Chain A
Amino acid sequence: RAMELPPSHFPAARAAAVAMGYLRYLRGGPGRGLELRELRRARRQDIDDVGHKYYLELELEDVLDKDRTVNCTAEVLYHLGSKTSAPDVQVTVQGELRSTEEADEEFYNWIRSLEKELVAENIPDSHGNVPPELEPIHLLAWVASGYVIWQNSTGNTKFHLAQVKHVKQVKRSDEDLQFDYVLLLHEMVSQELLPWQVTLLWHPQRGARVSQ
């Protein structure tokens, strides 16, 4: 009952973008940026009174470790009619992602050691440059945008993070790092650039979560 879809056609590509957003939120960090190397296979199942479900086989790469890839399967369910409900996503990563323990600790200690709260804007800049020391901040923005993209996607949208307009670190009394982001998201179907405010909390062991 699941229809095979050409991976080059947009319905599969849009579902893959949702899966990637979810993956980045779950598994991304200041030392890991997950990219889709290739969408290998896509199938779709229409479930009466529920919605459309996509079964995807993805080949992933870590932008900081491009020599190898990791396979992953994902299921993306767009709920029928509901404009306020985020798609349900499940992912299974087959194999190991490169460990980022060391890089995470380094980043954590660096931010905690800053006297003045970190502030930055326009990452990347107009020419595509990202200063090396801000790359972890850029990758954390991918985590934050991953959440936003997952939560706000429908079958008629395809979001990408276009730029970090602004980021401000907020010092906290607990052990989490907090970054208040203003992100620019590019929505491919309407071609609009949408600003989005997101607060991201991150900890080397506990990982990331978006603060509501």
Chain B
Amino acid sequence: ANMKLILIFAALIGVSLCLETFVGHQVLRIKTKNEEEVKQLQLLESLEHLELDFWINPSAPALPVDVRIPAVSVQSVKAFLESQGIEYSILIEDLQDVLDKEKQDMAKSAQRQRSSSFDFGAYHGLDDINEELDHLASEYSFVEKIQIGESYEKRPLYVLKFSTGGSERPAIWLDAGIHSREWVTQASALWIANKIASDYGTDASITSLLDKMDLFLLPVANPDGFVYTHTSNRMWRKTRSKIPGSICVGVDPNRNWDAGFGGPGASNKPCSDSYHGPSANSEVEVKSVVDFIKNHGNFKAFLTLHSYSQLLMYPYGYKCTRPDDYAELESLGRAAASSIRSLYGTTFQVGTICKTIYQASGGSIDWSYDNGIKYSFAFELRDTGRYGFLLPANQIIPAAKETWLGLKKIMEHVRD
């Protein structure tokens, strides 16, 4: 009797604390043999003071009846069933035990999920990156992984398409890693992809952006080069295409676009790190992007990530004259650099490619601008030379975060 009292007390306290406890609750499976027994169970069901919780209600003799019985009533219900000759078995001896174990399992699983999830603050190889692209595409309904072509060594060129609907909406292009040794760019692109995907619906700016426009993100624009930086030469920049008549390999993919191709600031020597290639768009990595953008026909912005030097540049590179939209691009560039600086104080210099870094022909944003995509910008991310290409991994996320603010500023302007 004392036991019963304690249990009733505990249950009452549990209820008053809004804490349901199922200590001592049992779940019985009752096998009825005939209609008479079913009626008996329905009678039991009507006794509300017993607080029986039928998981399967008594309906027909052939079907089992599952019922959860609060601790206080367990003995009396069993006594009743036995006195009526109704067969039963114990499905769950103590429900609280089962619930506790389930909680434990869930916690373990959640931990496993967290630790097997992608570490954005570390450098990854191509396979891991592609896996994460798949993960993002599967986790978010508005994110899709598409293939726009193949590299020279036949690796797929994967683009993440962010689209919440519509058809052929005005679009923004963002790529990273066209120069494979610039590791902070591929790494930042992954962080940015995750940021956009996870903030849609909660961040007002991203939500209104994706509600009006599509975003296409190519995180590894030069996968052959990227793999080569992992396997053979960390400082590799170019593609890995064989050049007829030369022992040297690879073309500088950012001198290969059809914008002042072959002009100053690009080399005609195959062994050079700024070799422009045998002809414009000779590199499949470049041609695939060109074709994709031309076929789409509705891109409004073309943004590309490089490292290092902390610069935010707009056309032109192949000539040192100002673009027609100079005033707007300069002003937007300054606003973006200001946003970048607001986070950690990192300063980006703003200007045309030709004035800021060097004259360079065959560059991607010159091509995009001359093909009607007004908002064409090239970012050079951290740092200014202390680590250069070998930026420590602990700077990936800060670099990604500040860069994202700059990109967002530009995208918001394009949207409006």
Residues of A within 8 A of B (CB): 6-10, 17, 33, 35-36, 38, 63, 124-129, 160-163, 184, 186, 188-193
Contacts and interface: CB of A to CB of B under 8 A. Distances in A.
Contacts of A36: 384
Contact of A10 (B235, B272, B358): B358
A192 B273 contact: yes
A9 B351 contact: yes
Interface stretch (B13-21, B188-196, B390-398): B390-398
A188 B387 contact: no
Interface string B325-360: 000000000000000000000010111000111100
A36 B387 CA distance: 13
B237 A191 contact: yes
Interface of B: 122-123, 229-230, 234-235, 237, 252, 267, 272-274, 309, 347, 349-351, 355-358, 384-393, 395
Nearest to A122: B234
Contacts of B356: 8-10
Contacts of B252: 191
Nearest to B233: A193
A118 to B, nearest CB: 21
A60 B393 CA distance: 25
Contact of B235 (A6, A184, A188): A184
A38 B346 CA distance: 11
Contacts of A189: 358
Contacts of A8: 349-351, 356
Count chain B CB atoms within 10 A of each CB in A124, A161, A184, A191 and give the residue with the most: A191
A10 B389 contact: no
Contacts, number: 74
Contacts of B395: 128
A186 to B, nearest CB: 6
A153 B57 CA distance: 88
Given A10-B356, A127-B122, A162-B390, 10 more contacts: A10-B358, A35-B386, A124-B387, A126-B234, A128-B395, A163-B235, A186-B389, A190-B272, A190-B273, A193-B235
Contacts of A63: 386
Count chain A CB atoms within 10 A of each CB in B235, B356, B386, B390 and give the residue with the most: B390
7 contacts: A10-B355, A125-B390, A126-B230, A128-B395, A160-B388, A184-B235, A190-B273
Question: Which DSSP category, helix, strand, loop or mixed, fits chain A's interface?
Answer: loop
Contact of B273 (A128, A160, A184, A191): A191
Contacts of B123: 126-127
B274 A190 contact: yes
Given A189-B358, A190-B274, A191-B274, A126 B351 contact: no
B356 to A, nearest CB: 6
Contacts of B384: 35-36
Count chain B CB atoms within 10 A of each CB in A36, A128, A163 and give the residue with the most: A128
A129 B272 CA distance: 28
A186 B391 CA distance: 14
B248 to A, nearest CB: 12
Contact of B391 (A128, A184, A188, A191): A128
A188 B392 contact: no
A186 B274 contact: no
Given A10-B355, A10-B356, A188-B357, A128 B347 contact: no
Contact of B390 (A9, A35, A163, A192): A163
Contacts of B386: 33, 35, 63
B340 to A, nearest CB: 14
Contacts of B235: 162-163, 184, 186, 193
B132 to A, nearest CB: 18
A139 to B, nearest CB: 11
B314 to A, nearest CB: 13
Contacts of A162: 235, 388-390
Contact of B387 (A17, A38, A128, A191): A128
B388 A126 contact: no
Closest 6 CB pairs of A and B: A128-B392, A8-B349, A160-B385, A191-B273, A128-B390, A124-B390
Nearest to A63: B386
B251 to A, nearest CB: 12
